[in-house]
Structure 1
Amino acid sequence: MSKKVRDFLRKVKGTISDYGMISAGDKVLIAVSGGPDSMALLRSLDLLKEELDITLHIAHLDHRFRGEESAEDARFVAETAHRLEIPITIEEIDVPKFIEERGLSEEEGARRVRYEFLNRTADAVRASKIALGHTADDQAETVLMRLIRGSGTRGLSGIPPVRSGRFIRPLIRIGRKEIEEFLLELGQDYRIDSTNLKPIYIRNRIRLELVPLLARYNPNISSVLARTGEILAAEDELLSQIADDELTERLSERGQGYVRFSIVGFEGLHVALRRRIVRRAIEMAKGNLLGIDLSHISSVLQMISGEKPNAEVDLPGVRVEKRYSQLVATVHPREDKPRYEYRLDLPGEVVIPEAGVRLIAEVRDERPELPVSEEIAVLDLERLSSPLIVRNRRPGDRFRPLGMKGSKKLKDFLIERKVPIEERDKVPILISDGEIAWVVGYRVDERFKMRDETRRFAVIWIERL
């Protein structure tokens, strides 16, 4: 084994060790396209498999982008697997058709199909890790691409060496030149994807045009950018942990598509921390950060620092509301949420299956002596219009909570009562002639309460099913 090969393997082992990529006994699925990067990944892990105490399996996807050229890639990888005596899974998927049917770009469609294939294959062969052939040059190109498009430290940190504990990139610190020298030392052939030589994608243009231009100013530009990405990744991880800890301390409530946290003293935090906390809260509510950029985060911070005690801002896929000392992030209400509406006679009863309750109504001529309970409403019968309607909430609903002079949005009332977002559309609302008389189980409307002069009473109570 030559010195160049030993040095290359030592670098690969160092990366694996530094990031805890592989443990003894792991089965590693290697994504092999047949290109130089994936072939270097395959050969290095094959040479290290006994030392690392791992088993290998090769995965190759024929995406049918390049016709016979793609088929040749598959044959080349299959022959290599046979020669190295490593089991292989090859799958052919019509990616161009997949892209056309879903209206995706070539890059996004190919990426989605590739990762679905790798995850499915790893599950089938019971591989605990999936190794990808991204290199230091890929890292540099990614940092440049995100810098051009505009990004914070998370984006500029580039490609993560380990993602989701499953995907690993052992070559992330190794440059393309080192890879070519390694393969030359081994006498290992590889395939060339002809589309990589054409400036048809932004990544290709960065690789073929921008990087060579920057190399005139610094011949080591790829190494510098890759190292910058690694530094920013570490710092981003630290700042994210600090922000997560602060958000956890402030968290009041979290449900499906819903996050609420305290903003008391929020203005005293550093702006970088405030941005990350808001960003993380949106991610927790929405499940992702698609469509969210700095301008959206800034609009939320402006709302928090504003004088209005109650305000809201609609962002892509999520609504963020300021409610006094709380900030609430909720996914946008679905237009197709089921509505229900039932009739309640006086006297009478009605089952509300969506809420899991039965409402029972009686008419009494004497003032009832009943325990104080939010599950019982005693109303002025003469102020009610029969039959009553029991329904769930509607946009724009307002009422006058018992004890208040003014009206209040029903939505705000339910938020303040900390009713989980997934439960709010189940809460029964008692309606009399278009007006809310009782938010069932929570509060009577001031206009319908019994008074000293009340002579006839409607007593309505909840029976849980």
Structure 2
Amino acid sequence: MKSVEEKVLLFIAGEKLIEQNDKILVGFSGGADSVFLLSFLKKFQKKFSLTLVAIHLNHSLRGEEADADESFCRKFCADLNIPIVINKKNVKAFAKKNKLSLEEAGREIRYKLFAEVAAKENCTKIATAHHQSDNTETLLLNLMKGSGLRGAAGIPSKRGNIIRPLLGITKDEIVSYLKNKKILFQNDSSNKENDFQRNYIRNIIVKNLKAEINPKLDEKLFNFSSAVKGVLDFVDGILEEHFKLIQFDKKTGCKIPLSLFEGKHIHFQKEIIADALIRIPKLEVTAHSINKVLELPGKKVGSKTELARGCFALRDRNFIIISKIKKETFPQVFIEKNQVKTILGMKLSVHEVSKNNIRVTPQKDVEFLSADSLHFPLFIRKWRQGDTFFPFGLSKLKKISEFLTDLKLSSEEKANQLLLLNKSEIVWVIKRRLDNRYAVSTNTKKIMKVRCK
């Protein structure tokens, strides 16, 4: 029978989690799991030629108990001669501000802090103390939320520079090891409360499943997760070339080409969507959200469906766009004669010219217009539902929404379309079409040249 240390070493080797001369930032709460992890890495520091740095986050949730955890961590690291970074955050305030649960807020703050400190300390890896029992809870939570195969894969042993060396052992093995070695650790009293979803899963559901069905539940579900991950790795290998066609932007979201849905098997389409959604920060991937996106290719251009966490999916002309919902912050911008204004990265200028200087060109960023009835300042804003104008060359009134649709613009181009206005009248659908009422004629006395580059 392998010892706990041997099991961890074999898992690290099998998953290729640690390399020689790694500098590892270790998430250290002072609880049993992180105490085991830090003690283990310290014991085998020479074997791997490691440099270790610990990081402790005080969540400001448990008052004196949290402060006691912080003091314990300082002393523990001092005894092991391991440098430690201590940080304190108001998780409750962050959760309220961002409409997150305390669990979600704590996780978001932790990983952001870990990434910042790892970069500052030039660490090659970030190690967290997740183990098989954590994987059981995560797997059950994911399945109950309908997250599909990717949720059934549980906690990954490695994601980017984050490693989880303890996924090969259980919580009971960790606690037993520490007690046998007489290594002290802190107990978080909030773990006994069943107010949090994960605590309820751990203290009620998992406890009963182990007692009534299988005491080796953690090991069996971890094996199941590993099998699912193997299948997903195989599927991802087949779909890799298709995944490359998805355009990702860390700040805004992603674009999935509609070609990836045409004539493809339903499960192929679902995997494409799941791969896109899983990369959107803070977006929970569920069967419901995948199915909502799956409906869009069959809908008309402009169709939109709201996902969780302030994200939406949009049926564009050639893409399904998954993006964060943006609050409208574009104000009205006023512009005087002979002035230049910068708007959305473009420079708009208005200058008076003589008839001799008019040059008819195919350029869409320049227009000459009659200034006889202009009242300065003119102003620029985004188009709105209900806006109408008389397109140049036509005598009929047309809705801006219909005009932009006829141009077959992308949803993003359509949403960001700017207008130049004279009081309440549209003068120019910028870089698209002049209003017929402001076209230069033989009777025009004053002419303005407008340019937007």
TM-score, normalised via structure 2 length: 0.78
The structural deviation recorded for 1:28 is 1.9
2-structure distance, mates of 1:333, 1:96: 25
Q: What is aligned with 2:443?
A: 456
169, 172, 177: which one aligns with 1:174: 169
The residue identity in structure 2 corresponding to 1:162 is: K
Alignment check: 8 A CA contact 1:437 1:445 kept: yes
25, 28, 33: which one aligns with 1:32: 28
The structural deviation recorded for 1:9 is 2.7
Matches within 5 A, 1:330-409: 330-342=323-335, 349-354=338-343, 355-362=346-353, 364=355, 370-377=360-367, 385-387=373-375, 389-396=378-385, 397-399=387-389, 407-409=399-401
Where 2:328 maps in the other structure, the secondary structure is coil
2-structure distance, mates of 1:207, 1:255: 34
The structural deviation recorded for 1:170 is 0.5
295, 303, 315: which one aligns with 1:311: 303
Q: What is aligned with 1:275?
A: 270
1-structure distance, mates of 2:318, 2:95: 46
Q: What count of residue pairs does the alignment treat as equivalent?
A: 444
2-structure distance, mates of 1:122, 1:359: 51
Percent sequence identity over aligned pairs? 25
2-structure distance, mates of 1:412, 1:255: 28
CA distance change for structure 1 residues 337 and 201 in 2, over 3 Å: closer, same or farther? Answer: same
The structural deviation recorded for 1:409 is 1.8
Question: Which whole-Å deviations, capped at 9, do the CAs of 1:163-182 have from their partners, x for residues lacking one?
Answer: 331x3211011112332443
1-structure distance, mates of 2:85, 2:368: 71
Where 1:30 maps in the other structure, the secondary structure is strand
Question: Which whole-Å deviations, capped at 9, do the CAs of 1:397-456 have from their partners, x for residues lacking one?
Answer: 45566678865527946984569759936x4x3446744343333333567667xxx543
Where 1:133 maps in the other structure, the secondary structure is coil
2-structure distance, mates of 1:217, 1:299: 36
1-structure distance, mates of 2:103, 2:130: 16
RMSD after superposition: 4.3
The residue identity in structure 2 corresponding to 1:337 is: F
TM-score, normalised via structure 1 length: 0.76
The residue identity in structure 2 corresponding to 1:377 is: E
Q: More deviation in 385-394 or 64-73?
A: 64-73
141, 147, 151: which one aligns with 2:143: 147
Question: Which whole-Å deviations, capped at 9, do the CAs of 1:357-390 have from their partners, x for residues lacking one?
Answer: 32334464x99673433244356x59x8434745
The structural deviation recorded for 1:274 is 2.6
Q: What is aligned with 1:10?
A: 6
Q: More deviation in 9-18 or 69-78?
A: 69-78
Name stretches of at least 5 consecutive residues in structure 2 with no aligned partner: none
Q: Does 1:86 align with 2:82?
A: yes
Q: Does 1:160 align with 2:153?
A: no
2-structure distance, mates of 1:297, 1:372: 44
Question: Which whole-Å deviations, capped at 9, do the CAs of 1:76-120 have from their partners, x for residues lacking one?
Answer: 444543443434445566666776787764434444454455445
Q: More deviation in 7-16 or 110-119?
A: 110-119
Alignment check: 8 A CA contact 1:161 1:172 kept: yes
Matches within 5 A, 1:52-201: 52-63=48-59, 65-66=61-62, 69-90=65-86, 105-115=101-111, 118-119=114-115, 121-123=117-119, 125-165=121-161, 167-201=162-196
2-structure distance, mates of 1:212, 1:45: 30
Alignment check: 8 A CA contact 1:244 1:277 kept: no
201, 204, 208: which one aligns with 1:206: 201
Q: What is aligned with 1:220?
A: 216
CA distance change for structure 1 residues 19 and 459 in 2, over 3 Å: closer, same or farther? Answer: farther
Q: More deviation in 156-165 or 295-304?
A: 295-304
Q: What is aligned with 2:315?
A: 322
